[in-house]
Structures are given as C-alpha cells and as structure tokens.
A and B are shown apart, each in its own frame.
Chain A
Amino acid sequence: GQNIDQPTEMTATEGAIVQINCTYQTSGFNGLFWYQQHAGEAPTFLSYNVLDGLEEKGRFSSFLSRSKGYSYLLLKELQMKDSASYLCAVRANTGGFKTIFGAGTRLFVKA
C-alpha cells in the first residue's frame, strides 16, 4: 500500500526558515513532488525530486532520501504570502502511474 505522513500544522515567523518533513512508504516509487495550495485555490507545483539529494529553487529547496523514504521542503526568508498548505505527493508505478497526495501541512506565517 501507499502511505504518506506530514505534520498537520506548523507556525513560523516572517523572515525565518521552516522545514516541512514528509515520510512515505510506497511500492514502485517514481518521484516526489511538493505542491503549495492556498485555501480555496488549486495546488501549484513547487519542486520535484527523484534522485537523492537537494534541489534548490530560489527560496524553496527540497531534499530526498529514497533509502529512508524521507523528504523535506525548506522555505527560506518566509513571507506572509507563504501561509498555505504544502502537499507532499509521491508518484508510483503500480500497474499505472499515479500521484498520491499526503494530507498536507498547513503553514501559518506570523509577523
């Protein structure tokens, strides 16, 4: 089966750094995505990892360890507009390619 775990909520201060963790158990692993979703809006793509290591994209970085079934999303220089849900999503080939979403981490950025 597939299982994805993320913290339900996190709070951080404007200008700070926050790390959102994601652990997963899946067969047929084929990559991990992070999406941002503001309330009432569509998810938007942030990052993708398929090999171990760190991918950096401006203020956002994502890390993957396939052997540990672990990823994190690092957000630097937090801004108020970063308050949103962050969805960890695993792509798996289980007789067809599917993307399974974690429940999401609601991040609150305070002044």
Chain B
Amino acid sequence: DTEVTQTPKHLVMGMTNKKSLKCEQHMGHRAMYWYKQKAKKPPELMFVYSYEKLSINESVPSRFSPECPNSSLLNLHLHALQPEDSALYLCASSLTSQGSNQPQHFGDGTRLSIL
C-alpha cells in the first residue's frame, strides 16, 4: 500500500469514451505528477503541478487533460484516446517541485486499456 491513492486500479474504455483518473495524497505535498509507463519501459513524465498550478506539460496530446482541484487531489481527464495510449498511468507527489532532495512518492497506478 502507498500513501498516494489512485483510482480506478484498472480501466477499459473505448476510443469514444470520456473517463477520469483520480489521485489523492494527504502528506501535505505541494507538487503532483502524472507519468505514463509502458511495459518494460521507464515512467515518462506527462505533467507537473506545483501549488495547484500546471508548471510542466511535456507536449502531451490534448486528449489528456489534467486538473488539480486542490492540494490533495489530481485528476487526469481522458477523451478520444487511441489504442497506443494503453499503459500504466502513475501519479506521484513530492513535498515541492523544486527541493532537490525530495523523492517522489508513487501511487500504484491505473492500468488503462483502450479498445
């Protein structure tokens, strides 16, 4: 079990569906992250939120839309995804985004399959 909670654990959706991934942490962390991880590959950074503001967008397609409603929650809204978007989506948090010695704490991820 991790201190970062992601829901759902598994999600299967069609290419025309709209769904959302959710992430929650109560460690008082002010930086939150979304990563995409394909099998046997490293996590790839998608978005960074710092103090509830989007600070980094790694040129992610607009069919992925992040949202940070408050300091404990991070959502990833999905719409019109492609089969190649099937992957494990990991949420992480750290105390801040700029402290050099602050590790990221990862959730267990949402395994997403696009039909």
Contacts and interface: CB of A to CB of B under 8 A. Distances in A.
A30 B100 contact: yes
Contacts, number: 50
Contacts of B104: 33, 45, 99
Contacts of A30: 100
Dominant secondary structure at the A interface: strand
B81 interface: no
A41 to B, nearest CB: 7
Nearest to B58: A98
Interface residues of A, number: 22
A50 B100 contact: yes
Interface stretch (B11-19, B42-50, B63-71, B72-80): B42-50
12 contacts: A31-B101, A42-B90, A42-B109, A43-B43, A43-B106, A44-B2, A91-B100, A96-B55, A97-B48, A101-B42, A102-B42, A104-B42
A18 interface: no
A48 B42 contact: no
A74 interface: no
Contacts of B98: 97
B108 interface: yes
A103 B101 contact: no
Interface in B12-61: 40-45, 48, 55-56
Contacts of A44: 2, 106
B43 A101 contact: yes
Interface string A17-45: 00000000000001101000000011111
